[in-house]
Chain A
Amino acid sequence: MPTFVKRLLFAVLVIAALFALNAMLSTQGLFGFGLDDYYGRLLTFIGINVILAVSLNLINGFTGQFSIGHAGFMAIGAYASAYMTVYHAPGWELALAGMVGADAAHVLIFVLAIFIGGLATALAGLVVGIPSLRLRGDYLAIVTLGFAEIIRIVILNIDKVGGATGLTVPGYTNFVWVGVFAVITIVIVHNIVRSDIGRALVSIREDELAAEAMGINTTRYKVLSFVISSAFAGIAGVLFAHYNKFLSTADFTFLRSFEIIIMIVLGGMGSITGAILGAAVITILPEALRQLPTVGLFGQEFNFADLRLVIYAALLIVIMLTRPQGVLGTREFGMNWLRRAQKRPEGDEAVGADTGVSIAERDTTPTADPVEEVKNK
């Protein structure tokens, strides 16, 4: 079969699967199989988190630039699009409905909203990225965090978008929208990573000085990766806003950025499938912990569900202690995963697991990456 037929078939399959899932989430169900609203919500949030994690992985995992400002960009996308859908969309939709019909108008308006959200965020990413990406490591991290908090506080002070009281937003998002954009994000990031741009990004992660010496315009590529990453965060914000139907700046604090970082570190920095896995696990985990039973211990009733956040934090520490490179490391999970894993030369997984400046005691670990070891000598 020619490649493009395979791809076409795959795309059709994905879209069919999304619509099937969406039908299962609706009130009628699909051929009698229905899923609870609760699961619909969970699946939608997984989708949104997949977009966030995969896009953040582009800048953090593949380019090796430590950004913790994703929540800020998400907020820009959410608020920019909400401004449009709250103040302008009803009129435009009515006008469009006369021309192409109500359903098509509804879809077109939301496409426009997503476009506006993505564009606004890409611009913000450019404005933030150009000055910040001159900094490295922890300094870059704290500056991106700072920008995200400033964005949040500025939005908090704009009364037109609700300010501190929040903003009610029309609901446009359903599971198909989220699924389609999650797939688009994955495909685009995957293609970028496989392209010459991706090679340049990975070379910046591995050794910025060497990359520069090889003639790579590191600033240009870092900013490019930052802008693309922000744009997708913005799109995730648009989808989130129009699914949640209510926007408050409390949803975009730095804790949200931390959560996305946890997803990609958990799944494995520099692995797209790892980011997807991390997004799913981190979305489901707090919900799953809600189901914990009440147990009588030492003559007292312990409600473990009340302790779910404590357990969540403890689990996070335990995972980092036992699986420090994330579940997948930099590998990708796929059909030929086992075959490739066997063929890997020794020590290959470790490349990229150690990003940044050498840390204390690294030299003493016998399993350290051979490349790094040579460098340290």
Chain B
Amino acid sequence: MDTFVQQLINGLTIGSIYALIALGYTMVYGILRLINFAHGDIYMVGAFAGFFIAHGLGFAAEPSLVGFAITLLGSMLVAALIGMAIERFAYRPVRKYARMTTLITAIGVSLLLENLGVVIFGGAPRSFPQLLQNQNYTLFGNAAISKSQILIFSVSIALMLLLQWIIYRTKVGTAMRAVSFNLNSAKLMGINTNLIIAFTFALGSALAAAGGVLTAQYNPQIYPLMGIITGLKAFVAAVLGGIGNIPGAVLGGLLIGAAETFVVGYGQSVGIPSTYRDAVAFSILILVLLFRPAGLLGSTVQEKV
């Protein structure tokens, strides 16, 4: 029982990170029908931005909650700006073309960020500074939760609630929903669609950066290619929940995080080696899509003739 709770806590920790990144995928897809393959690399950029902010402002030497908050917000801001720049200079010019073109552009941006990362930061992993004194709290029995895990839970829940508020309670959120419903109609209604799309990228990128800084508190190794696998799994999470669907992205992220941890934790006893960890997300995805082709919470769109 203790190990089960422990595994669940660990799984949900990773899951909340996946969920934060998946939100960006799902929002961009909802609006542009674009798989933004560069999103995983924004997560990497966010982690590195946090690294330099923490070192530059001296938070690395003295752990404090204020330092953590500034690092988090700073890296979210940097990532938001980069996300908007990518949208403006790479995606907007190809938006009107076939989807393959936009997709290859996205792959190009992803490769560009990764390789720029390798050139600028070097390929070797760096150690992200601990921004808060870490501490373990025993829950019951032997199950424990660390301070960084509490931090990941609380920050990601806060961000998700904030996102929910932005999308359903503010004017810009209403505009986002309108654009994702029908871009051209939204434009006719006087919505500045370019601005809304840029805002969506900023929002998604900021969430990914938050994911990057939070992950780095839990697992301090950061390197330029860290976004590839995490980004892919977050994308799988978004599709699993029903791409374009915001609660679906969160559900998908948590599910995949938990499933992965359970395979590593319990797989050995039923004959699944832990090396299958990376295959779990895809297996779940394939199984779910075979029975629910639009994802768990997605609605199927009837095709018009």
**Chain B residues near A135 (CB-CB < 8 A):** 289, 293
CB-contact partner of B239 in A142, A150, A306, A361, under 8 A: A142
State whether the Cβ of B124 lies closer than 8 Å to any Cβ in chain A.
Answer: no
State whether the Cβ of B285 lies closer than 8 Å to any Cβ in chain A.
Answer: yes
Stretch at the interface among A31-39, A89-97, A315-323: A315-323
CB-contact partner of B33 in A156, A209, A357, under 8 A: A357
**Chain B residues near A335 (CB-CB < 8 A):** none
A221-236 to B contact mask, C-beta < 8 Å, 1/0: 0000000000000000
| CB pair A139 B293 closer than 8 Å | yes
Chain A: interface residue total (CB-CB under 8 A): 53
Stretch at the interface among B154-162, B214-222, B275-283: B275-283
A53 to chain B, nearest CB (A): 14
A363 to B187, CA, bound (A): 12
| CB pair B111 A320 closer than 8 Å | no
Contacts known (A150-B279, A321-B93, A361-B96); A134 close to B286, Cβ less than 8 A: no
| CB pair B99 A307 closer than 8 Å | no
A121 to chain B, nearest CB (A): 19
A94 to chain B, nearest CB (A): 37
Contacts known (A150-B279, A307-B119, A357-B33); A320 close to B108, Cβ less than 8 A: yes
| CB pair A147 B282 closer than 8 Å | yes
Residue in A closest to B285 when the chains form the complex, CB atoms: A146
| CB pair A316 B100 closer than 8 Å | no
B162 to chain A, nearest CB (A): 26
Contacts known (A262-B107, A354-B98); A143 close to B289, Cβ less than 8 A: yes
B85 to chain A, nearest CB (A): 13
B268 to chain A, nearest CB (A): 13
A316 to B93, CA, bound (A): 14
| CB pair B104 A262 closer than 8 Å | yes
16 contacts between A and B (CB under 8 A): A132-B286, A138-B243, A139-B289, A146-B281, A150-B279, A157-B275, A258-B107, A262-B104, A265-B101, A266-B104, A269-B98, A313-B115, A320-B94, A320-B108, A321-B94, A355-B98
Binding site for A on B (CB under 8 A): 29, 31-33, 35, 90, 93-105, 107-109, 111-112, 114-116, 118-119, 183-184, 232, 235-236, 239, 243, 273, 275-276, 278-279, 281-283, 285-286, 289-290, 293-294, 303, 305
